[in-house]
Amino acid sequence: MKIALINENSQAAKNELICSTLKSVVEPMGHEVLNFGMYTAEDDTQLTYVMNGLLAAILLNSKAVDFVVTGCGTGQGAMLALNSFPGVLCGHVTDPTDAYLFAQVNNGNAVAMPFAQNFGWGAELNLQYTFEKLFSGEFGLGYPRERAVPEQRNKKILDQVKTITHQDIMTVLKNIDQDFLKTAVSGKQFADLFFPNCQVPEIADYIKNVLD
């Protein structure tokens, strides 16, 4: 699994801590982490949590990554932003129990975490244990296990509903404010990470034109 990490500007200073913790947990499992920043609070490209919603949608719909880890001060804004876009099912995850249940019951492809609220002494341990519970097993197995069939059925219904209530990603890219889009994809390592991994040429071509 390819896992993207995206930080918005208010919590960019924690990117190194979050990334190193995520890598320490998931790389031994065979997963790969792509760090899309922000890397420091002083980065030239200042990402907001709304931009990160758009960026997550581009990464997931292009199949450049399989999963997105992001957040903001509380995680709420990031969760709402990501769920505004097609092809993204984002949970608000604060602790290991949230992580495990989201993976098993909701079977989504992104999480938004609080990187300021309650992020104090032992925060790195909560991150570690949360990532362990999130990525340690197969998604969508259900919890409790006897609830697996109805939970999987509900997930399929939700996916079908989202295809009706959301426009497709190319429509979004073409109609969203183009300066906003350009800023979202202008991080200093975005092109190096995105284009080699993107599996949808139409999306890649459009993003190249925006950056040019």
What does the pLDDT look like over 114-171, one tens digit per residue? 999 999 999 999 999 999 999 999 999 999 999 999 999 999 999 999 999 999 999 9
* C-alpha neighbours within 13 Å on the C-beta side of residue 94: 10
Q: How many domains does the chain have?
A: 1
Q: How many other β-carbons are positioned within 10 Å of the β-carbon of residue 10?
A: 19
The helix/strand count (H/E) of the chain reads as 10, 5
Give the residue from 109, 102, 116, 112 showing the smallest Cα distance to 86. 109
pTM of the predicted model as reported, rounded to 2 decimal places: 0.96
With tokens 């804004």, the residue in question is 77
Q: Note down the domain range covering 36.
A: 2-211
State the CATH number of the domain containing residue 137.
3.40.1400.10
